[in-house]
Structure formats: structure tokens, C-alpha cells
Structure 1
Amino acid sequence: MRSIRHRLLLSLFVVWATIWIAVAAVSLDRSEHEVGELMDAQLAQTAHVLLQITLAGNLPDAAGTPQALSPIGHPYESMISFQLWRQGKLISTFGAAPAEPLAHASGFSDHRIADTAWRVFGLPTGTSDEIIFVAQSYAIRHELIQYLTLHALRPILWSMPLAVLLIWLAITDGLRPLRRLTSQVTHRSAEQLNPMDPGRMPVEIRPLTLALNGLMKRLDRALAAERHFAADASHELRTPFAIIRAHAQIARRSKCPEERDHALDLLLQGIDRASNLISQLLVLSRLHHREGDSGAESCSLTAVAAETIDDKSAMASARGVALTYKSPSDDPVLVDIPPAPLGVLIANLLDNAVKFTPAGGQVRVTIAARREHVLLGVEDSGPGISVEDRARVFDRFYRSAGQAEPGAGLGLSIVRRICDIYDADIELLEAETSLAGLLVEVRFRRTA
């Protein structure tokens, strides 16, 4: 792709050439018109002068000695001629006139005689059947027109190198703000993300400056969140790995098989918890840098929910929790969210509901379709979440006081992030049914 400088130079040269051609065409047209007017007037004037000479009887007889050009004359004399005809007979002639009439009627006319184009003016003398023809070769006119046109356009041709230089200097000066902006961005470090002043930029570059400022603001926010996320992740990962190390050391030092087996069981549990924590951290990291995805693909909420519930049914059975599901039987319920993040959202809600529901309890998943939105409800018979903690449980690594169940406090953070990306709403409510636990209600946009 050509640079902006080359584009501007080419565009200006094309414009300049177009203007020059237009000026040349206008100059040629005006020169032809003015030269034609002048030469026609000269022909008419010459014809009237010859008429006066004819009346005085001083014209030479055509039957006499042929007229010769003067040695001190001009070469154009051979391109000018006249004739006097009386009653169809050539009475007198001069110049390059042929033996036949130059024209056949009075007034101006154009004729080609012996491969030469002539402009002829015929003037009746007033005597019966007597007319004077004055002719001029078009070669005189063409030469004069060419001279006048080139003389008028010569300054433009001579100014071409100067115009090229001035155009190049003007473009170079016009692109200086872009080079200055490039220099400012190039010399910035990763930590120097403060916005640039758009007021000092030209109007044409101001939108670009504002866009760069927005990009740097998002980068600054992302880097700050990344540093915060890394600090939190390192802090949260330190504890499970310390526990894993402690259990491994116990198993290594233990002489009793029962004690060793117990330590190994705890070691495996610690590894499972660490693996789950790392998996949740990776999901949250991938979701963190995504912006709103308004053009996302749609999927069937009922299909994704049914598949996720099947995956979680074994875990619920192992904990003695009944997992039920209710959805419209004749409606796939399409929502504006891809199946992968939707599955992560439902899986995290089910994990929390099953984990905090005591044995013998129940978790109920319901889908209700409305005209413009869809409601996904996950309701459990667990202890619920206090009103004071409901606003904070969406924070990363937050765990309510007195919580005995293991976890990293990332499940609802991931759910909230997915809702933010795909323009869904989530709300924690008191269960209004016999379950009397927590109701998590997610409102999705329905696919048109």
C-alpha cells in the first residue's frame, strides 16, 4: 500500500495535469476564435481595398504578365491570393490563386484547392456579374494559433519543477503533525499510558488522538487488572500448594500405612482443589480482557442447560442432592450468547448450588421464555447468602465468613463477567418456593 505522501503527491499531480490540460484546451479554443475573427476581418478589409482599386481601374489584367512575388516580401505572400471575375471570366489575379474560381458565392466560405485549405471571402463590386475573391491559406491561421497557445502555456510548463517542489514541501509540512504523533507514541514506555493532549493536534488528527487515548486507557486498566489478578492468584495458589507439600511430607515420613494412605488421600484432594482453582483462574483470565460481544452467535439455552445438568448429575448424586430441570418443551429458547461461555456460566451456578446444599437437599433449574428475554433460574435448598454479602460475592476470591465448603471464591465472579460481556443481568434473590434457599436469576436477551 502506498504511503499517504505518495497518495497526496499523485493526487495533486493528477489535479495539476487536469487543470493544465483544461487551460490548454480553453486557450486553444479562444486562440482559434480570436485568430479567426481577426483574419476574417482582415480578409474583408482587403477585399474592400481591392474593390476601391478595381473602381479606379488599376488592377492588372490576368492576360498580362503573371504577378511575381517581391524579393523583399514575406513568405506568407504565397498563402494569400485574390481574383476578380467578371461575367464568368477571370479579369485579374494575384498570389497563389488557381485558374478556377476560389469560391462560387459571396461572403465567407471554406474550400480545399490542390490539397490546401483556404478561407475565402467574396465581395460583389456592384457591377453586374462582377465579384472579388480574397483567399487566405489556413496554414497561416494554424501557425498563429499554435504560437499563441504555446506562448500562453509556456509559463505553466516552466513553472512545473517549481510547482513539484512547492507541492512536496507543502505535503511534508502537512504531514509533520503525524510524524510528531508517531514520535510521541514510539517513545512511550509500557508504564507511560497517560493520555495525549488532543487540543494540540490538528482537527484531522484529533479523532486518531482520541482513539489512541482510549486505547491507552483500556491498556492501563487491563495492565492494572492484570497486576492485581497476578497478585491475587499468587496469593490464592500459595495456600493449596503449601497444603499439598505438607501432606506429601507427611506421607513420606509416615511409617504407618493407614496414616500414609490418609495423607495421600488428603494430597489428592489438595491436588484436585488446586487443579480446580487453576482452571477457574484460566477461565477468568480469558474472560477478563474481552469486551462486549454484541455480534456473538446464538444458541439454544435449553440444549446447553440440559447438557450441563447431565454432566453435573453425577456430582449431585454423590453429595445426595436431587437435581431437577424444567424448561419449555416446544421451544429451543435461542439466546444471544455462544454455547461455550453459556455452559461455563450454568456449570458454575450448579457447582455453587450443589456444593452449598446439604445432603438430602434439592437444586432446581428452570427456564422461562418471555417475548424479548429469557429467565434462567437456579434455586437450591441451602443456607442462602445474607443480604450484606450478596453484593460482595461477585468479587474475586471473596468468601463469606464462616464458610466451611472448600473453594476459591471465583465461581460467581466468572458468572458476572460472562453476564457483562453478553449483556445479561444476574440477581440473587430469596427462594420463593418450598426450597427456601437461594435463587440465582439470570436474564438473557432472546434472539430475534
Structure 2
Amino acid sequence: MRLETRSLAGRLVLSFSLLLAVFWTIAVGLSIHVMRAEFDEVFDSALQETTERLASLVVDDYFRRDAGTGPNQVAALDPGATDEYLTYQVRDAYGRVLLHSHNIGTEPYPAPLKPGFWSGNERRIFTIATVSDTLFVQVADSLAHRREATLESALTLLLPILLLLPLGMFAVRWVVVRATRPVNELRDAISTRDGSNLEPIVLQGLPTEIAAIPGSVNTLLGRLKLALQAERDLAANSAHELRTPLAGALAQMELLADQLTAPDDRSRSDRVLEAL
């Protein structure tokens, strides 16, 4: 099976791009985790502060109202103007709803009548006790709002990767191609050396990792050049030394062949002449 070859630059670009994407994803995941914790802290702080400031107002408003048969509802000043994520209820010690905001029904919150935070599937509720623990003010924040804020922040971090990752890949490719250019030049210089071209390789500005390679290759080329020259000289000297005795033997054999008359001897002499 033949393995597909890849260039060093292509492997580096692919590896760096994958590492960049993985590290970016990990960084975004950690950022979202920290950001969600910080968001919860900020929202809880705002929820607690809102409850503490609202308690005296809604309790005072409750006592100013006429006692009725059912829970009272606080009308909205400007309904539908903005998104309203906070709702509240005033409950008595038995859990009955005495007063509630306009954007929540008369169904009591599932949170117990215990001061502090409570979390459910849909709401985060903070409870405060007033009037000698006979009235409880509960303010609820929508958890969907918190998830929406976290999601929008996460998208803000994730979307730039769609632009930055291609730019990062292009930048990495540009850097890698420039860094591997001396390697390509050395490869091309070595590939042009053969039996007819044994000149030394002269390249300037090579990185230290491959700076010693041209010297080693030049040493090998010098030894090969000397070996080939010695082989040529040996062949030339051998041919020169053999030419004279062979020529003499050929002349003597021609004279001898002319003097032979027997058919067998004549045939044998022709074979010897052909060999010479």
C-alpha cells in the first residue's frame, strides 16, 4: 500500500489550525463557565437588593389598601414598554398570596416561606420576612432570562472564531511557508546534483537546524567526484596499456593466419582474430 505524501508545511498548517480551534473552544468553554457564575452572582445580588428595597414599599402599599376577599394586584405603570423579568408576591404566614405584581398570577410561588434564596426549574426566588415574620415578600427572577444572557455572551465569544480561525490558518500558512522556504531551496539544490553535476551547494541564510546539511552533502559530492575521476583515469590508463600489446598480437595473428593453409588451422586462426 502506498502512503500519500504530504508537505511539511501542509502538516504544520493543519496541526496548528486544529490546535488553534481546540484551544479556542476550551478557552470559550472556561470563559462561559466563569461568566455564568459571575452572572448568577450579579443577578442574585440585584435580586436581593431589589427585594430589600421593595419590601417596605409593597408592605406599606398593602396596609393602605382596603381588605378584600382575594389577593390584590399592583397595576403596571407602563405595561408592555419593556421586558419585565422580575415578579413579586406578598404572602402571609400561612402561604396565602395577599398582594402580587401585575405580571404574575395568584398561584403562590413554590418557594418555602424561609428567608434567603431558592431555585426552581423556572425561577430564582429571594424571600424576606417582615412585620414580625407575619408577612413575607418574595421576588422572583426568570431563569430563562439568565440563560438567555449566558447564551448571548457565549455566541459573542464563539462567532468570532468563524472569522478568526480562517485568518489564523492563513497567517499560520504564511509563517510556515516562509519558515520552510530554506528547506525547499535545499531540496531543489540537492535534486539537481547527479553524475553530470557534482558542484558544491552554496546556500546562504539557512536555519541552524539544517545549516550543516549542505556541508555534509558537499563533502559527499567531493568524495564521489574523486571516485568517479579515479575510475575514469583507471579506465583510460588500462585502455592505453592494453592498446599496444593487443595491436601487436593482432598484427602477428594476421601474419600467422596468412601462412596457414590447413582448413582447420585457418578456421581456428579466424576465431582468434575475431576475438582480438
TM-score class normalised by the smaller sequence: 0.7 to 0.9
Is residue 102–residue 120 contact of structure 1 (8 Å, CA) maintained in 2?
no
Secondary structure of the structure 2 residue equivalent to 1:202: coil
Q: Is 2:112 aligned against 1:96? A: no
Q: Which residue, 214, 234, 240 being the options, matches 1:209?
A: 214
Structure 1 partner of 2:156: 151
Among candidates 91, 97, 108, match of residue 85 of structure 1: 91
Match of 1:224 among 229, 233, 238: 229
CA deviation after TM superposition for structure 1 residue 40, in Å: 0.6
**Could you list the per-position Cα deviations for residues 100-156 of structure 1 after superposition, in whole angstroms to 9, with x for gaps in the alignment?**
3331243222212xxxx2212222226235332221111111111122233345555
Q: Deviations over 1:315-361 (max 9, x none)?
A: xxxxxxxxxxxxxxxxxxxxxxxxxxxxxxxxxxxxxxxxxxxxxxx
Q: Deviations over 1:56-115 (max 9, x none)?
A: 34477892454555424322x1x4222222122222222335613331243222212xxx
Q: 1:48 aligns with which of 49, 52, 58?
A: 52
- 2:205 corresponds to 1:196: no
Could you tell me which runs of 5 or more consecutive residues in structure 2 were left unpaired when the two chains were aligned.
Answer: none
Q: Secondary structure at the match of 1:131?
A: strand
Deviation (angstroms), 1:36: 0.8
Select 1:110's aligned residue among 99, 105, 119: 119
Partner of 1:434: none
- Distance in 2, matches of 1:110 and 1:237, equals 109
Asked if the contact 2:193–2:199 (Cα under 8 Å) also holds between the matched residues in 1, the reply is no
Matched residue of 2:107: which SS? coil
Q: Does 1:177 align with 2:182?
A: yes
CA-to-partner distance for each residue in 1:273-299, whole Å, 9 max, x for gaps?
x9xxxxxxxxxxxxxxxxxxxxxxxxx
Cα offsets for 1:381-400 (capped at 9, x unmatched): xxxxxxxxxxxxxxxxxxxx
Q: Which residue of 1 aligns with 2:31?
A: 27
* Maintained 8 Å contact 1:80/1:136: yes
* 1:38–1:97 CA distance, 2 compared to 1 (3 A): farther
Any idea what SS the aligned residue of 2:56 has? helix
Q: Percent identity?
A: 26
Compare 244-253 and 60-69 and name the one that shifted more. 60-69
Q: Which runs of 5+ in 1 are unaligned?
A: 275-448
SS at match of 2:79: coil
Q: TM-score, normalised by structure 1?
A: 0.50
1:134 is paired with a residue whose SS is strand
- Whole-Å separation in 2 of the counterparts to 1:214 and 1:97: 93
1:409-436 deviation digits (Å, cap 9, x = unpaired)? xxxxxxxxxxxxxxxxxxxxxxxxxxxx
Question: Residue 200 and residue 230 in structure 1: after superposition, are their counterparts in 2 closer, same or farther (change >3 A)?
Answer: farther
The one-letter code sitting in structure 1 at the alignment partner of 2:100 is T
Partners of 2:181 and 2:80 lie apart in 1 by 66
Q: 1:17 aligns with which of 8, 18, 21?
A: 21
Task: Name the structure 1 match of 2:42.
Answer: 38
Aligned 1:337-348 pairs, distance under 5 A: none
For the residue of structure 2 that corresponds to 1:159, the secondary structure is helix
What aligned pairs does 1:319-398 form with structure 2 within 5 A after superposition? none
Structure 1 residues 65, 53: CA separation in 2 closer, same or farther (over 3 Å shift)? closer
- Shift of residue 39, structure 1, vs aligned partner: 0.5
How many angstroms apart in 2 are the aligned matches of 1:133 and 1:218? 94
Matched, 1:136 2:141: yes
